[in-house]
Structure 1
Amino acid sequence: MDLLSDVIAVTRTGEPRSAKIAWHAPWSHTFDPVPGAAGFQVILHGSCWLIRPDEQPLELREGDVIFMAHGQGHTLCSMPESHATGSQTVTLCGAYELDPAGAHPLLLTLPETIHLPTRLGIDLRLAVELLSSELTEPRLGTDALVPALLESLLVYILRTWFSTEDSPPGWAHALRDPVIASALHAMHSDPARPWTVATLASVAGLSRAPFARRFASKVGQPPLTYLTWWRMTIAAQLLRETTDSLAVIAEKVGYASEFAFSTAFKRQFGLSPGKYRRGPSQ
């Protein structure tokens, strides 16, 4: 799997939700904050304004996509200068539950609000159109298609954002850096391999010291620190979703013994793998 797919797989939880809503001017609706979630708004028809705390109002036009990366509250309302009672705006909204314990730093560094104007991403527009169609006219298979389309839309939103020049330094630039991308792909493709800074540098095509400096600068932590974090995140997912023994999970994430694995896991999560698997109430 590629890095973005991995990030979504370990962070997403629960079932995504969506709704298509027609608003008639004058109108205003406040969406409350939802900790541990991310959501989007798409303007399918008409226009409106996005109101956020401590931010200037943002005018949204037909086709614009807004992604609220950290579940922050916001308000959508009709155009202040519009006096046409009954004029219609149609929005498509959706929400994703996220696992705070598995939140990838890539997602944590996203801005509060991502604005993708209608001119960006034909694949994103096609995903919106398909989802809108299924919500407007449910047919055979709609219940299976809608969750799949919502998952696709999340990928398209993030892919479009990370490919724009507006995205800030950090993970967006790291993903576009072929050296860093090669090292990240190697770790994600084979987390159990006994990676060293030297072997990762070799994969990335640099010598050890320049690679280590470049990785830490772009990703925000040294290569092996990130590798340990990623291994423990995979282990946590396996503990939640499988019945694999601790020995098997340890081997899958690159540890030769249960003891070494348990020590590393407790260092990251504050409790042993066994207690983590049993849950907080056990």
Structure 2
Amino acid sequence: MDPLSDVLALLKLRSYVSGGFDAGGDWAISFGPHDGIKFHAVVTGSCWISVEGDAFTRVNTGECFLLPRGRPFRIASDPSVEPVPVSEVLPPQPNGRIMTYNGGGDYLSIGGYFTLSEGQSELLLNVLPPLLHIRDEPGSATLRWCVERMRQELAEGQPGDFIVAQQLATIVLVQALRLYLSGRTTEEAGWLFALADKRLRAAIVAMHGAPDRRWTLHTLASVAGMSRTAFAVTFREAVGLSPMEYLAHWRMTLAAEELAHSRKSIAAIALEVGYESEKSFSTAFKRVKGRPPREFSRLQKQISGRMDQAVFK
């Protein structure tokens, strides 16, 4: 898999379509904090969005926005309209259907959210801004098609429509991230942004594909087709970490997943991520994750056990 697929798989991404919102006239709705990533895709009309007091952004037909940080936000037909809490506007209704407000007819959007694995969610959330506005551009044809298909699934009520809409929502997220990377003008640092550089992407793909290999700065620079110095400087500027620091963080992320969800020995996990010595692995793990592997494993399994008990109560 490619690095983005690796991370999304590790995060145990799940998509949910909460339904459509069909509004008419003047309207404004405020939303509280949320978990995961919320998304709205505008099918017809336009709206304004503001995240927790930031300036308003206009979102037009064929565009969408993602909210990765969980901050409160509001959407409106006009920034001057006083917002109403979402709990007052949209009372509890079955998911996966289009709901009407103020008679509808002027604005229609499809909304939903993505949940992520608790332990590793920062892998994605920490490299994204509070608001991702994906504009309607030539490269967004796939995004438009997915949104239109979601609208049809919600409106027609065919068997299995909710499952189809969920799968389409996942495609929307991946396509939105692709478009965000291709159209990015600011110089944020993070592994996600490094994927826009073919040379750095090649090195990251290599590290993800063989985390147990004895990588050196020289071999990674060769994969990237760059000199060692140029590779080291460019990688740090793009990712915010040196190549070897990034490799260590990725190895420990994989190890953390195994420690939390498998019965493998620490020695076996150490070998899988490139450490022949359990002691050297434990030292590296504590440096990156803040706890020794055994303590981390015990705590994660206790948390998992409490969650399982809560489900069956």
The one of 291, 299, 309 equivalent to 1:279 is 299
Amino acid of the structure 1 residue aligned with 2:132: I
**What do the CA deviations read for 1:27-85 (whole angstroms, capped 9, x no partner)?**
22112122x52111111122222133332222222222011121221111223699xx7
Partner secondary structure for residue 118 of structure 1: coil
Q: Which amino acid aligns with 2:283?
A: T
> Which residue in 2 is equivalent to 1:97?
115
Aligned partner of 1:160 in structure 2 is: 179
Q: Distance in 2 between matches of 1:56 and 1:121?
A: 25
Relative distance call for 1:211 and 1:68 in structure 2 (3 A) is: same
The answer to whether the 8 A contact 1:11-1:104 is kept is no
C-alpha change, 1:239 and 1:153, in structure 2 (3 Å) is farther
| Pairing 1:1-282 to 2, within 5 Å after superposition | 1-13=1-13, 16-34=16-34, 36-79=35-78, 86-88=103-105, 89-99=107-117, 101-103=119-121, 107-119=125-137, 120-166=139-185, 168-171=187-190, 174-279=194-299, 281=302
* Amino acid in structure 2 at the alignment position of 1:238: E
Moved more, 3-12 or 98-107: 98-107
* Most deviating of 70-79 and 96-105: 96-105
Task: State whether residues 47 and 79 of structure 1, in contact with CA within 8 Å, keep that contact through their aligned partners in structure 2.
Answer: no
Shift of 1:188: 1.0
Task: Say if 1:47 and 1:59, in contact at 8 Å, map to a contact too.
Answer: yes
Partner Cα separation in structure 1 for residue 262 and residue 153 of structure 2: 33
Tell me the amino acid that sits aligned with residue 195 of structure 1.
Answer: W
Q: CA deviation at 1:231?
A: 0.6
Asked whether the equivalents of residues 12 and 96 of structure 1 are also in contact (C-alpha less than 8 Å), the reply is no
Inter-CA distance 177–228: structure 2 relative to 1 (3 Å threshold): same
Q: Which structure 2 segments of 5+ residues have no match?
A: 82-101, 304-313
Would the aligned equivalents of 2:51 and 2:131 in 1 still touch at CA under 8 Å?
no
| RMSD (Å), alpha carbons | 2.6
After alignment, is 144-153 or 176-185 more displaced? Answer: 144-153
Change (3 A) 1:125 1:242: farther
Q: Assess, with a 3 A threshold, how the Cα gap between structure 1 residues 69 and 198 changes in structure 2: closer, same or farther.
A: same
What is the TM-score with the length of structure 2 in the denominator? Answer: 0.79
Q: How far has the Cα of 1:173 moved from its partner? A: 5.2
For the residue of structure 1 that corresponds to 2:195, the secondary structure is helix
Question: Residue type of the partner of 1:250?
Answer: A
Q: Deviation digits for residues 119-161 of structure 1, max 9, x if unmatched?
A: 3511111222222222333433334433322222211110111
Partners of 1:26 and 1:86 within 8 A in 2: no
User: Aligned residues: percent identity?
Assistant: 34
Q: How many residues align?
A: 279
Cα offset for 1:162? 0.5
Measured in 2, the distance between the counterparts of 1:252 and 1:204 equals 24
Q: SS of the counterpart of 1:95?
A: strand
Note the C-alpha offset of 1:225: 0.4
Contact 1:131/1:146 (CA < 8 Å) preserved in 2? Answer: yes
